[in-house]
């Protein structure tokens, strides 16, 4: 018989949810999460316009919205936005931010892998920094395909933060050294503790993309889920250039050398 202490109904999804619930408090204080300049905002707008066009009242579902950074960008562009996240502390901040800015954004608590939304109900689905942590991305992409209207588009913004180049690893090391010497103003600001970093690594080792969410692998799964016109866009330079002004020197360079991308696909 299995020992009682070995039985747990706390699964990987619960751990991911708990991890982000704890990260919510400092999330918006970190450059790379919240937007800290008009230049960065304009660069994000340009990316969304390029792939999705102006909102013109179309419906957008921003999955794993966190504190709603992307939801606000979509709202700026005229989409009718629903933000969904499964971490209540993130949603609390998202709701407070939208209220403070006078935005009509609807927020729902829910799982991006099983949205419970109707078939063919959204024109656009977006998500930033979600895919790397999905437990079952193929099932999830099928779910997004179901929820999108025919001709609807998904836009994924993500990266492979596991298979890093020698240059990226060197820059990461220099960032750490600079922060220990008190020279990197951003590196420790709101950064996760050593305990949180361990939790992050334990989670990462068990998700589907534990070996890294390379754009080609994500694009392949989107095609398997029924999406067409899958376009991979690595042209994130304007965003990274704007973000660099709020990062320490080495961290800004590190970001620019990472495998980051936007992928757009159509139902
Ligand atoms: C790195 S944060 C990104 C937040 C936001 N998209 C952004 O870019 O600012 C990841 C978010 O994904 C949420 N998340 C992760 N997996 C999820 C899932 N299966 N369903 C809903 N939310 C999820 C977490 O709660 C967290 O808020």
**Helical axes 166-180 vs 249-257, angle rounded to 10°:** 160
Look at residue 170 in the predicted model and tell me its pLDDT. Answer: 65
Q: With contact defined as beta carbons under 8 Å apart, do 238 and 43 qualify? A: yes
The pLDDT score that the predictor gives to residue 148 is 98
Dist CA 169 CA 166 (whole Å): 5
In this prediction, residue 188 carries a pLDDT of 45
Both structure tokens of 201:
């690594």
Q: Give the HSE-up count for residue 233: Cα atoms under 13 Å, Cβ half-sphere.
A: 19
Place of tokens 């989670």: 203
Mutate to test the pocket of ligand 1, among 20, 36, 132, 236 (most ligand atoms within 8 A of CB): 20
Q: What top-level class would CATH report for the domain 10-266? A: alpha beta
Residue 264: what pLDDT? 98
Three-class DSSP category at 184: coil
Beta bridge partners of 250: none
CA angle 189, 35, 82 (to 5 degrees): 120
What pLDDT score does 171 carry? Answer: 61
Torsion angle (degrees, nearest 10) of CA 63, 68, 74, 80: 70
Q: How far is the CA of 265 from the centre of ligand 1 (A)?
A: 20
Cβ neighbours of 133 (radius 10 Å): 22
Residue bearing the CA closest to ligand 1, atom 27: 66
Please give the pLDDT value at position 8.
59
- On the 0-12 / 13-18 / 19+ scale of CB atoms within 10 A, 244 is middle
- What is the predicted pLDDT for the residue at 9? 64
Residues of the chain below pLDDT 50: 1, 5, 187-188
Per-residue pLDDT at 21: 96
pLDDT confidence of residue 246: 81
Q: What distance in angstroms lies between residue 183's CA and the mean position of ligand 1's atoms?
A: 30
CB-ligand 1 contact for 112 (6 Å cutoff): yes
Greatest CA separation found in the chain? 61
pTM for the structure as a whole: 0.91
Q: Where are the domains of the chain?
A: 10-266
């Amino acid at each position: 018989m299995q020992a009682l202490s070995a039985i747990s109904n706390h699964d990987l999804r619960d751990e991911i949810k708990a991890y982000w619930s704890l990260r919510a408090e400092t999330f918006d204080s970190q450059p790379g999460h919240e937007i800290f300049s008009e230049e960065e905002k304009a660069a994000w707008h340009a990316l969304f316009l390029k792939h999705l066009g102006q909102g013109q009242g179309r419906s957008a579902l921003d999955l794993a919205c966190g504190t709603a950074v992307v939801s606000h960008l979509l709202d700026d562009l005229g989409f009718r936005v629903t933000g969904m996240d499964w971490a209540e502390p993130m949603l609390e901040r998202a709701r407070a931010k939208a209220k403070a800015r006078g935005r009509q954004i609807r927020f729902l608590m829910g799982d991006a892998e099983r949205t419970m939304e109707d078939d063919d109900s959204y024109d656009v689905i977006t998500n930033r920094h979600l895919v790397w942590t999905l437990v079952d991305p193929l099932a999830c992409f099928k779910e997004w395909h179901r929820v999108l209207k025919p001709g609807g588009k998904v836009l994924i913004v993500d990266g492979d933060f596991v298979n890093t180049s020698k240059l990226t690893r060197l820059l990461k090391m220099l960032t750490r050294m600079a922060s220990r010497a008190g020279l990197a103003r951003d590196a420790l600001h709101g950064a996760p503790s050593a305990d949180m970093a361990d939790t992050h690594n334990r989670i990462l080792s068990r998700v589907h993309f534990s070996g890294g969410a390379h754009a080609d692998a994500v694009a392949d799964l989107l095609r398997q889920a029924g999406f067409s016109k899958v376009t991979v866009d690595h042209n994130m330079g304007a965003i990274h250039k704007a973000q660099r002004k709020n990062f320490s020197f080495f961290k800004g360079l590190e970001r620019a050398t990472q495998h980051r991308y936007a992928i757009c696909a159509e139902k």
